[in-house]
Amino acid sequence: MTISLNIPAAGTEALVKGESLWIKARKRFLRHRLALIGLVILCVMVLLAVLAPVVAIYSPVELNLDAMSQPPSTTHWLGTDTTGRDVWSRIVHGGQVSLSVGLVAVSISTLIGIVIGSIAGYAGGKVDLLLMRVTDMVMAFPSLVMIITVASVLGPSIYNTMLVIGILTWPGIARLVRGQFLSFREQQFVLAARSIGVPPIQIMFRHLFPNVVGTVTVAATFGMANAILQEASLSFLGLGVQAPTPSWGNMLRDAQTFSILEGMPWLWIAPGLMIVLAVLSINFIGDGLRDALDPRSIL
Amino acid sequence: MFNYILRRLLVSIPILIGITVIVFFIASQMPGDAVLAMISTDTPQAEDLVKLRRGQLGLDLPIYEQYGRWVGQLLHGNLGFSFQSGESVISVIAARLPATLELMGVALIIAIILGVFLGVVSALKQYSWLDYSFTFFGFAGISIPDFFLGMVLVYVFSIELGLLPSSGISTAGNAFSLSDNLRHLILPAFALGLARTASFMRYTRASVLEVMNNDYVRTARAKGLGERLVTTRHILRNALIPVVTVIGITLPTLFGGAVIIEVIFQWAGIGLMFINAVTGRDSPVIMGYVLLSAVIVLASNLITDIMYSVLDPRIRYD
């Protein structure tokens, strides 16, 4: 009596299929339906923003006193504001502003977070203690409060908005990278690299950093959603992107008066929904990326 | 335990000092000149007046001396005087703090009750349509800007339906009454609270799911306990402890959100005061507010950590 053992030896299953980690990650991402929908919506938004001069024929900043406060119609799809500017045109051009502020801001904060987090995590000891105290200090301030304060010091402009959000929102990523570095640096591949004389900078970026790329990508995606929200809040308060340049946030600023809120809902509902749609899409993409790249995390 | 609390307190001290340095440095970089804003420069004596006022305010000293003076006063409970009104910052804040605490407190309670409830239901019915729709709602919650949610609530409940007042902490002209105040509170508190519900919901859901797979839950079922008892006594009691930490995480965003909500609803708290000070370049008031918000966040993180260690005896910190 023989029992045929058709079970492959441990470790060979993946080899047979020949799937790399990235292919697996892509499959997991594509299975996340909401993330796919988010990706499609975001792509459409980016496309509209890039093609703004083509898809919106009216100027987003020039006044047209013949067409003031018109409700949506076939000529002005989303109506016009109190100075006759086409709302659709302002939304599309505002998308350029809001999306690029979000992207640049999150790039700044991710870069700072990675640098501080990897130095703290790799060096450990006193350097780590010092950098983490600094991180604690920055984290103690409610981020929006600090963003408003620093923005008022630097003066409101689109570049300052990017800068302020970027330099005040890095602690989250710094802590994340530090934690991962602390746990990875004790592992044998790091010891091996160190023992053959690889310089610390190279160990950090060639050996340790690839291990945190997934986690950082996920955090940066959620960070971008947040940066867009913060830009919107800042511009809403009049401390971010300045008129006449449209951004989704400052379009809602004009609608704070009761007459507009009540009588011209097209002026504030459309930009508001655009913010929600963009942020929601990015959050869904972030959730999909987490499933794909960082399956161990629970939240 | 005592050692843990002491250590946490000691660690907070350098952070607190760092915070005062940061706040002072930023405020000293404020553009615009409060003195010039107060004194008309048309009169011939203007130059002397400006100099005099600068001397009175200590603005002509080197920056580290100004910092020293400021901290010295701080230790005496003096946050300086508003450039705009001349009132002491501490009394302006004290007068307006209750309104903000009322708004933030009620919003936090709404977020906790709703969030924990939805999270528990979501976890117990994992992968049901309820779970999916709550999860979607949670994502929507973290994606809506506070001011948009506020405007939608005003549009629906006070403009279209005419049910609730849309601004102020009480009806102007009337004597202050609690019921009137609470009616004014409903919309801003929900606008602020609903968006924070999502974090409590997501965390509660994850925590309940984690506890549900523990051996002691299986044991409880195996020995024949009813499902209701297993859920309330064994799962929820353990799962809800870590949710306390979410309060600490939520607080900074609650502060930022309160600023926006107070502006929209003209809720006369310290958030509205802060924005008015930012517009008026009133740096003592800005400093006072930023310092206060950082100290409150620091203190509440400390308190939630301590509460967590008290509530969960399994956690040992030494």
Q: Which residues of A touch B243 (CB under 8 A)?
A: none
pLDDT (0 to 100) of residue A298? 47
pLDDT (0 to 100) of residue A299? 47
Banded pLDDT at B85 (limits 50, 70, 90): confident
Q: Is the pLDDT of residue A109 over 90?
A: yes
Measure B27 CA to nearest chain A CA, in Å: 8
pLDDT (0 to 100) of residue B315? 65
| Span A104-132, average pLDDT | 94
B148 closest CB neighbour out of A133, A134, A276: A276
Residues 31-60 of B with CB under 8 A from A: 31
Residue predicted with more confidence, A261 or A163? A163
Residues 162-191 of B with CB under 8 A from A: none
pLDDT (0 to 100) of residue B284? 85
pLDDT (0 to 100) of residue B41? 65
pLDDT (0 to 100) of residue B37? 61
| Span A150-173, average pLDDT | 91
Interface of A with B (CB under 8 A): 34, 133-134, 136-137, 139-146, 148-150, 152-153, 155, 225, 229, 232-233, 236-237, 239, 249, 252, 255-256, 258, 261-262, 265, 268, 272, 275-276, 279-280, 283-284, 287, 298-299
| Span B127-151, average pLDDT | 91
pLDDT tens-place string over residues B149-201: 999 999 999 888 888 887 888 777 777 778 888 889 999 999 999 989 988 99
Q: Which of B21, B29, B139, B251 to mutate to test the interface with A (most CBs of A within 10 A)?
A: B139
Mean pLDDT: which of A211-215, B124-128, B189-193 is highest? B189-193
In this prediction the ipTM stands at 0.86
Torsion, Cα B226 B232 B233 B235, to 10 degrees, reads: 100
Q: How far is CA A18 from CA A11, A24, B85, in A?
A: 12, 10, 73
pLDDT tens-place string over residues A26-66: 888 888 888 999 999 999 999 999 988 888 777 887 777 77
Residue predicted with more confidence, A292 or A19? A292
Q: Is the pLDDT of residue A10 over 80?
A: no
d(CA A25, CA B100): 46
Could you give the angle at which helices B178-212 and B129-143 cross, rounded to 10 degrees?
A: 130
Q: Residue B253 and residue A134: Cβ atoms within 8 Å?
A: no
Q: Residue B155 and residue A236: Cβ atoms within 8 Å?
A: no
Scanning every residue of chain B, which has its alpha carbon at the shortest distance from the alpha carbon of A297? B206
| Cβ–Cβ contact B105 with A under 8 A | no
Banded pLDDT at B51 (limits 50, 70, 90): confident
Question: Residue A80 gets which letter from DSSP?
Answer: B
| Span A189-217, average pLDDT | 90
Q: Which of A13-22, B7-16, B53-62, B80-89 has the lowest mean pLDDT?
A: A13-22
What predicted TM-score, i.e. pTM, was given to this entire model? 0.88
pLDDT (0 to 100) of residue B34? 60
Q: How far is CA B130 from CA B117, B118, B120, B123, in A?
A: 13, 9, 11, 10
B154 closest CB neighbour out of A133, A261, A284: A261
Banded pLDDT at A187 (limits 50, 70, 90): confident
d(CA B211, CA B316): 19
Scanning every residue of chain B, which has its alpha carbon at the shortest distance from the alpha carbon of A147? B256
- Closest to B90 in 3D by CA, of B248, B295, B252: B295
Banded pLDDT at A98 (limits 50, 70, 90): very high
Q: Which of B29, B135, B148 to mutate to test the interface with A (most CBs of A within 10 A)?
A: B148
d(CA A253, CA A232): 10
Q: Residue A143 and residue B256: Cβ atoms within 8 Å?
A: yes
Scanning every residue of chain B, which has its alpha carbon at the shortest distance from the alpha carbon of A136? B15
Q: Are A293 and A114 in contact (CB under 8 A)?
A: no
Q: Which of helix, strand or coil describes residue A68?
A: coil
d(CA B194, CA B113): 11
d(CA B268, CA B229): 46
Q: Residue A141 and residue B140: Cβ atoms within 8 Å?
A: no
Mean pLDDT: which of A136-140, A225-229, B6-10 is highest? A225-229
Q: Which of helix, strand or coil describes residue B304?
A: helix
Q: What is the 3-state secondary structure (H, E, C) of A171-184?
A: HHHHHHHHHHHHHH
Residue predicted with more confidence, B188 or A83? B188
Scanning every residue of chain A, which has its alpha carbon at the shortest distance from the alpha carbon of B152? A269
Q: Residue A276 and residue B152: Cβ atoms within 8 Å?
A: no
Q: Which of A143, A169, A233, A279 to mutate to test the interface with B (most CBs of B within 10 A)?
A: A233
pLDDT (0 to 100) of residue B32? 57
| Cβ–Cβ contact B255 with A under 8 A | yes
Residue identified by tokens 């690839």 is: A210
pLDDT (0 to 100) of residue A227? 95
Q: Residue B146 and residue A233: Cβ atoms within 8 Å?
A: yes
B290 closest CB neighbour out of A133, A145, A265: A145
* Average pLDDT for chain B: 86
Q: Is the pLDDT of residue A1 over 50?
A: no
| Span A146-157, average pLDDT | 89
pLDDT (0 to 100) of residue B261? 94
CB-based contacts of B43: which residues, under 8 Å, 6+ apart?
B49
Q: Residue B22 and residue A150: Cβ atoms within 8 Å?
A: no
Measure A141 CA to nearest chain B CA, in Å: 5
Percent of chain A with pLDDT over 70: 92
For each of the domains in chain B, give its residue range(s) and CATH number, in order of start.
2-75 (no CATH), 95-311 (1.10.3720.10)
| Span A91-104, average pLDDT | 93
CB-based contacts of B148: which residues, under 8 Å, 6+ apart?
A252, A268, A272, A275, A276
